[in-house]
Amino acid sequence: MFNGKLHGLTAACAAAAFAVGGAAGGAAWADPDDHELVIDGESIVTEVAAQPGNPLGTLYSGWRYRTPETQALQMDDFENPVMLQVDLARDVWSVAEGEAGKSCALCHDDVEVSMIGVKAGYPKMNAGAGKAFALEHQVNACRTERMGADAWKWESQDMIGMTALIGLQSRGMPVDIDDDALAPVIAQGKDIYNTRFGQLDLSCANCHEDNNGVMIRADHLSQGHGNGFPTYRLKWQGTGTLHRRFKGCMDNIRAEPYKRGSEEFTALEAYIAWRGQGLSVETPSVRN
């Protein structure tokens, strides 16, 4: 267990370095770059002043911490590997499924019209369920309650493709959740974010607030925003959800992770969305 008194780097940073597979000796400081994210002629906000009460003074998208080669993949929709899944989801949008014989299009018409701004407002409170829903929860509620179809697994290619398609319709719009309705959920997420977990005794804040900008071997710690998910990670060689990323972080610090879709991970997502308000939705993003 680290005692918080290591010289040079904090114990948290040293532990984080160990968690990603190396000693802290190779760590160095590197600020986010000053590159501009433009996709199809549209400028995406990757730097914005934080709202009052935010522990970060200036918000920087995770895109600003990536290599130029990785950044270029996201800047070109023809190169962005998630767009293949988005195209497949466009077809699924109009396919009738389940006992009700309904499709997404039957209720929501054209995805490029009806889903504008939807992703930017998630997570949100669902009055019927009496709890906060991530976008994945809402997709499955539509499937099971309105279509009479089977729910998709959280990390299934169908779910990732559909949430990427829906998220794409908000690309360039600012993250803007309902702070008042989500207040207790955001508070729960904040508590989780700042709680130390696992054998390495680390919290989310140790890496993404105390040490963002640190280079640990080949990994550049960002501020940990969720505005680009689902995202294609080169490390994964595939696309994953924000809750998969949460699980990976908890695995790295040798903690027992919560389940994808759990109340805890949804609260954590809500807090991260609150913390990242003002940054543009980048879905689908590309990261290292």
HEC profile of 9-76: CCHHHHHHHHHCCCCHHHCEECCCCCCCEEECCEEECCEEECCCCCCCCEEECHHHHCCHHHHHHHHC
User: Known catalytic residue: 204?
Assistant: no
| Least confidently predicted of 21-25, 35-39, 147-151, 224-228 | 21-25
> Does domain 11-78+178-287 bear CATH number 1.10.760.10?
yes
φ, ψ at 264 (rounded to 5°): -70, -45
Paired tokens of 163? 């949430």
Give the CATH number of domain 82-168; options: 3.40.605.10, 1.10.760.10, 3.30.2010.10, 1.10.1840.10: 1.10.760.10
Say if residue 123 is preceded by a cis peptide, omega within 30 of 0. Answer: yes
Catalytic residue among 13, 142, 204, 249: 249
- Residue pLDDT, tens place only, 95-116: 999 999 999 999 999 999 999 9
Domain with CATH 1.10.760.10 in the chain: 11-78+178-287, 82-168
- Residue pLDDT, tens place only, 232-276: 999 999 999 999 999 999 999 999 999 999 999 999 999 999 999
Q: What is the pTM of this model?
A: 0.90
Per the prediction, the chain carries an average pLDDT of 91
Amino acid identity at 175: V
Paired tokens of 13? 């940073």
Give the pLDDT score at 8: 34
Quick check: 16 pLDDT over 60? Answer: no
